[in-house]
Amino acid sequence: MKNIMKAIIYEEFGSSDVFELKEVEKPTPKDDELLVKVHATSVNALDMIFRSGESLLFGMTKLMAGFKKPKHKILGFDVSGEVESVGGKIKKFKKGDLIYACLRSPGANAEYVRVPEKFAATRPANMSHIEAATVPDAGGTALTGLRDSVVIKEGQRVLIFGASGGVGTYAMQIANTYTTEVTGVCSTSAVSLVESLGANAVIDYTKEDFTKNGQTYDVVFDAVGRGVTSYSKCKNSLTKNGIFVTVDFQSVMFKYMLNKNVKGYMGNVNAEKLDYLRDLIEAEKVKSVVDKVYPLSQIAEAHKYYEEGHPKGKVAISLQE
CATH of the domain at 203: 3.40.50.720
The Cα 105–Cα 131 span in angstroms is 21
- Residues 142, 238: one domain? yes
- Residues 306, 245: one domain? no
The string of pLDDT tens digits covering residues 60-76 is 666 676 667 988 999 99
The string of pLDDT tens digits covering residues 165-183 is 999 999 999 999 999 999 9
Q: What is the average pLDDT across 181-192?
A: 97
Q: Residue 251's pLDDT band (boundaries 50, 70, 90)?
A: low
**pLDDT exceeds cutoff 80 at 256:** no
- Residues 125, 190: one domain? no
- Residues 16, 130: one domain? yes
Lowest mean pLDDT among 55-64, 148-157, 180-189: 55-64
Domain count, the chain: 2
The Cα 121–Cα 117 span in angstroms is 8
- Between 52 and 248, the more confident residue is 52
Q: What is the average pLDDT across 118-143?
A: 97
CB proximity list for 60: less than 8 A, separation 6 or greater: none
As a three-state string, the secondary structure of 225-261 is CCCCCCHHHHHHHEEEEEEEEECCHHHHHHHCCCCCC
For residue 173, being part of any structural domain is answered with yes
Using only C-alpha atoms, the chain has a radius of gyration, in whole angstroms, of 19
- Residues 147, 124: one domain? no
139 Rama class: left (phi>0) / alpha (psi -120 to 50) / beta: alpha
The Cα 270–Cα 97 span in angstroms is 18
**pLDDT exceeds cutoff 60 at 118:** yes
Q: What is the mean pLDDT of the chain?
A: 92
The Cα 14–Cα 18 span in angstroms is 6
For residue 126, being part of any structural domain is answered with yes
- The predicted structure's pLDDT at residue 225: 79
- The predicted structure's pLDDT at residue 86: 97
CB proximity list for 271: less than 8 A, separation 6 or greater: 117, 118, 119, 120, 121
CA of residue 260 relative to chain centroid, distance = 25
- The predicted structure's pLDDT at residue 43: 98
**pLDDT exceeds cutoff 80 at 296:** yes
238-246 and 262-264 beta bridge pairing: parallel
> For the chain, what percent of residues have pLDDT higher than 90?
79
**pLDDT exceeds cutoff 80 at 258:** no
- The predicted structure's pLDDT at residue 61: 67
The string of pLDDT tens digits covering residues 266-291 is 778 999 999 999 999 999 999 999 99
Angle at 83 (CA atoms; ends 136, 144), nearest 5 degrees? 15
For residue 283, being part of any structural domain is answered with no
Q: Phi, psi at residue 69, to the nearest 5°?
A: -135, 155
For residue 38, being part of any structural domain is answered with yes
- Residues 8, 96: one domain? yes
For residue 280, being part of any structural domain is answered with no
What is residue 76's three-state secondary structure?
Answer: coil
The string of pLDDT tens digits covering residues 223-250 is 987 766 788 899 999 999 999 998 877 6
- Which domain does 37 fall in, by range? 4-135+288-318
**pLDDT exceeds cutoff 70 at 36:** yes
- The predicted structure's pLDDT at residue 267: 75
- Residues 174, 292: one domain? no
Which residue from 278, 145, 112 is spatially nearest to 221, judged by alpha carbons?
A: 145
Please identify, among 264, 280, 304, the residue that sits at the C-terminal boundary of a domain. Answer: 264
The Cα 266–Cα 85 span in angstroms is 30
For residue 270, being part of any structural domain is answered with no
- The predicted structure's pLDDT at residue 57: 55
Q: What is the average pLDDT across 150-165?
A: 94
- Residues 73, 148: one domain? no
- The predicted structure's pLDDT at residue 173: 98
pTM of this structure: 0.94
CB proximity list for 258: less than 8 A, separation 6 or greater: none
- Residues 31, 147: one domain? no
Q: What's the length of the chain?
A: 321
- Residues 9, 131: one domain? yes
- Residues 120, 154: one domain? no
CATH number of the domain where residue 122 is located: 3.90.180.10
- Residues 49, 155: one domain? no
Amino acid identity for residue 243 in this structure: I
35 Rama class: left (phi>0) / alpha (psi -120 to 50) / beta: beta
Which residue from 156, 163, 152, 206 is spatially nearest to 181, judged by alpha carbons?
A: 156
